[in-house]
């Protein structure tokens, strides 16, 4: 399951209010020139189709929006991923989930995917 699939499923099952929030950054392949272009979601424009690797998980606004959606889906307003060192490797972990990733954005995305898979 991709992050986009997970967000859409969580929205369909009413665990989150929207599959994406204004400010999230994503890229799209522009057919006319076959190049990727970055966009931000706003109130009037939602991405028509977002490929699995298209969300910018290093963008602070996107990470913040995904964290807000994760908190909403889990019903925990104070939820916060934290870095930990596991077997000499720094990993980001989401409390209550066995999801460790290299970055905070990746950990939040993996947690959302895991939640949608469990729904």
* Residues 14, 8 contacting (CB under 8 angstroms): no
- Asked if pLDDT for residue 11 goes beyond 90, the answer is yes
Query: Domain coordinates of the chain in residue numbers?
Result: 3-118
Residue 66: in which H helix or E strand, if any?
A: helix 60-74
Instruction: pLDDT band for 104, please (50, 70, 90 cuts).
Output: very high
pLDDT at 9: 95
Q: Which of 92, 94, 93, 7 is nearest to 54 (CA)?
A: 7
pLDDT at 45: 58
Average pLDDT in the 37-43 region?
76
* Three-state secondary-structure class, residue 89: strand
In total, the chain counts a number of residues equal to 119
Q: Which of 89, 86, 88 is nearest to 98 (CA)?
A: 86
Percent of the chain residues topping a pLDDT of 90 = 45
For 107, list phi and psi in degrees, rounded to 5.
-65, -40
Q: How many C-beta neighbours within 10 Å does residue 8 have? A: 17
Please write the tens of the pLDDT for every residue from 55-92. Answer: 899 999 999 999 999 999 999 999 989 998 888 888 99
Please write the tens of the pLDDT for every residue from 12-27. Answer: 999 999 888 888 888 8
């Amino acid at each position: 399951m991709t992050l986009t699939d997970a967000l859409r499923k969580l929205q369909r099952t009413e665990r989150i209010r929207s599959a994406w929030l204004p400010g999230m950054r994503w890229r799209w392949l522009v057919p006319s020139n076959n190049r990727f272009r970055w966009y931000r979601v706003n109130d009037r424009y939602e991405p028509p189709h977002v490929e699995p690797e298209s969300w910018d998980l290093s963008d602070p606004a996107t990470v913040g929006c995904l964290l807000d959606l994760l908190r909403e889906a889990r019903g925990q307003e104070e939820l916060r991923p934290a870095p930990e060192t596991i077997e000499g490797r720094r990993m980001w972990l989401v409390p209550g989930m066995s999801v460790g990733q290299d970055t905070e954005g990746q950990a939040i995305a993996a947690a959302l995917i895991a939640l949608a898979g469990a729904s």
